[in-house]
Amino acid sequence: MIEIIDIRKSFDDHEVLSGISAKFEPGDNNLIIGGSGSGKTTLLKCMVGLHEPTSGSVIYDGRDFTKMNFEQRIEIRKEIGMLFQGSALFDSMTVQENIMFPLNMFTEQSFEEKMDRVNFCLDRVNLKDKNKLFPAELSGGMKKRVGIARAIAMNPKYLFCDEPNSGLDPKTSIVIDDLINEITEEYKITTIVVTHDMNSVMGIGEYILFLHNGKKYWDGTNKEIAHTDNKELNEFVFASKFMEAAKEKL
Amino acid sequence: MFYSIGRYILLLKAVFKKPEKFNIYFKEVMFQMNYIGMGSLGLISIISTFVGAVMTLQIAFQLNSDLIPKTIIGSVNRDSSILELSPTISALVLAGKIGSSISSEIGTMRVSEQIDALEIMGINAPGYLILPKLIGGITMVPVLVIIAMFLSITGGYIGGTLSGAVTGSDYILGITSDFNPYTITVALVKAFVFGFIITTVAAYQGFYVRGGALEVAQASTKAVVVSCITILAADYFVTQLLL
């Protein structure tokens, strides 16, 4: 479980996050939603240590990440997998080398063992025959899937996904959502997805944290979201006519 | 400026942290030594040969007197090549070639979140990305400078004899008389310092890029400019210190 307590983050005098607290349970798809500039990605980066929160705590199963030194954080980071918005695959490495990279760095496995793990991860994301391709030769959806394969290579306890559907067509978006959902349930990992894709919210959102202007405005499940009277959340979720029409059926 | 110097020192501190896996770093070091050394050999060879040839012609033009023996052309060219031209011109050329390459590579990794990905994996990104380049720089720049010295002196021989500015025997006599081996030591110290400057300044500029393609290009340009100025300043201080 990951717990965030009163997270605040300022850049110079501008406060981007204003005292956000939440609990993210393992085995659930935890979604952080909100409009552009609401602080979703900043919160995610504070949680994984890419940004230092101005105040507050990030607790990984009872371990306070914000109070740890560099070496202690490395131990936590070995338990984290992350899918980046732009996939962040290493350009100079093939798909196989990208996935094998954390295994090379942190395990003493033989080459055959590492290859087995790479093939397992690629098979899990339905990309078994793409080992030798470079990231530049992959489509956007394939890059995301390789990103997921790399993120799960080390059997993470925590999976973070930063806008996994951005730049993807609706069909591929659903494939990525389903994949994240399956991996979360299968390995009982704590998954946190930052998104503003409403298909993801309604499809896989078991716990949803809604941010607006850097503040926590609402949290609940995708079942509850259609019936909330929170004005800002309603404006965000039912901004499109399609979603407004769909609201009647929810 | 003080903020940048402080951040540069902190980055260097992170670079020298213990590597996660020595064999992976070793492979990277070998790759960088090959890239910096072999990749720059052709350019350094051409430049050094021509600089040596031109130097001989200019020395011959300026020392055109019956009172000055022709052998002096060889000895002046030798000392100039060893002490100043080979280390400094090679370093300035490498700052352009290697420095811009390092800065744009690391900068692109920064803006495409590849450095964030390394950090999330628990890898010391400054160490993994910069240390192999730094070792490649401080080992291969001196090697390139030694080759540049040899080719500059050889270029002087070719240029001088082809143009008739000096005879081959006078030139050879000039370069072999009154040779002080300490000049080689000074040149190698300079090359070591320049290798350090070229790689770390460029890496620093790339590592802290924020933005996109334009900022990466600006960082690359800045890396070359700052490296060149730092090399010239370091050249002065090392020369004053050692001579």
Give percent of chain B with pLDDT exceeding 90: 93
Are A165 and A149 in the same domain?
no
Q: Do residues A218 and A230 make contact, with C-beta atoms less than 8 angstroms apart? A: yes
Quick check: is A123 in a domain?
Answer: yes
Are A116 and A148 in the same domain?
yes
Q: What total of structural domains would you count in chain B?
A: 1
pLDDT (tens digit, 0 to 9) for every residue of chain A, 250 residues total? 899 999 999 998 899 999 999 999 998 889 999 888 889 999 999 999 999 999 999 999 999 999 998 889 988 999 999 999 888 999 999 999 999 999 999 999 999 999 999 999 998 888 888 899 999 999 988 999 999 999 999 989 999 999 888 878 888 888 888 889 888 988 889 999 998 888 888 888 889 999 999 999 988 888 888 778 888 888 887 777 776 666 666 5
Average pLDDT over every residue of B128-146: 97
Encode pLDDT of B33-83 as tens digits: 999 999 999 999 999 999 999 999 999 999 988 888 999 999 999 999 999
Are A167 and A150 in the same domain?
no
Q: State whether A91 and B114 contact (CB < 8 Å).
A: yes
Are A188 and A150 in the same domain?
no
Which residues, at least 6 apart from B101, have a Cβ–Cβ distance to it below 8 Å? B202
Mean pLDDT of chain B, nearest integer: 95
Are A196 and A242 in the same domain?
yes
pLDDT score, position A246: 67
- Chain A contact for B121 (CB, 8 A cutoff): yes
Boundary-marking domain end, from A135, A155, A175: A155
Q: In which region does residue A93 sit, left (phi positive, over 0), alpha (psi from -120 to 50) or beta (all else)?
A: beta
Are A191 and A126 in the same domain?
no
Q: Distance between CA atoms of A115 and A66, rounded to whole angstroms?
A: 35
Q: Distance between CA atoms of B205 and B217, rounded to whole angstroms?
A: 11
pLDDT score, position B6: 95
Domain with B189, as residue range(s), is 2-242
Domain with A242, as residue range(s), is 2-79+158-247
Q: State whether B114 and A88 contact (CB < 8 Å).
A: yes
Q: Distance between CA atoms of A221 and A182, rounded to whole angstroms?
A: 18
Are A104 and A203 in the same domain?
no
- Chain A contact for B113 (CB, 8 A cutoff): yes
Encode pLDDT of B102-114 as tens digits: 999 999 999 999 9
Burial class (CB in 10 A: 0-12, 13-18, 19+), A165: buried
Residue of A58, A103, A105 to mutate, interface with B, max B Cβ within 10 Å = A105
Encode pLDDT of B183-236 as tens digits: 999 999 999 999 999 999 999 999 999 999 999 999 999 999 999 999 999 999
Quick check: is A125 in a domain?
Answer: yes
Q: Distance between CA atoms of A195 and B63, rounded to whole angstroms?
A: 75
Q: State whether A77 and B120 contact (CB < 8 Å).
A: yes
Quick check: is A85 in a domain?
Answer: no
State which amino acid sits at residue A108: E
Residues in chain B closer than 8 A to A50 (CB atoms): 116, 119-120
> A with B: how many residue pairs have Cβ under 8 Å apart?
51
**Domain containing A39 — which CATH number?**
3.40.50.300
Are A163 and A72 in the same domain?
yes
- Chain A contact for B10 (CB, 8 A cutoff): no
Q: Distance between CA atoms of B95 and B102, rounded to whole angstroms?
A: 10
Other Cβ atoms closer than 10 A to B131: 22
| Pairing between β-strand A14-24 and β-strand A190-195 as defined by DSSP bridges | unpaired
Residue of B104, B106, B120, B133 to mutate, interface with A, max A Cβ within 10 Å = B120
Of B112, B122, B123, the CB nearest to A86: B112
Are A163 and A243 in the same domain?
yes
Quick check: is A55 in a domain?
Answer: yes
Q: Which residue in chain A has the smallest CA separation from B128?
A: A105
Q: What total of structural domains would you count in chain A?
A: 2
DSSP state string for B124-164? -HHHHHHHHHHHHHHHHHHHHHHHHHHHHHHHHHHHHHHHT
pLDDT score, position A227: 79
- Chain A contact for B46 (CB, 8 A cutoff): no
Residue of A84, A100, A107, A108 to mutate, interface with B, max B Cβ within 10 Å = A84
Are A97 and A192 in the same domain?
no
Burial class (CB in 10 A: 0-12, 13-18, 19+), A187: middle
- B108 vs chain A: nearest CA distance in angstroms? 10
State which amino acid sits at residue A199: N
Give percent of chain B with pLDDT exceeding 70: 100
Interface predicted TM-score of the whole assembly (ipTM), two decimals:
0.88
Are A107 and A142 in the same domain?
yes
Q: Which residue in chain A has the smallest CA separation from B110?
A: A88
Are A35 and A133 in the same domain?
no
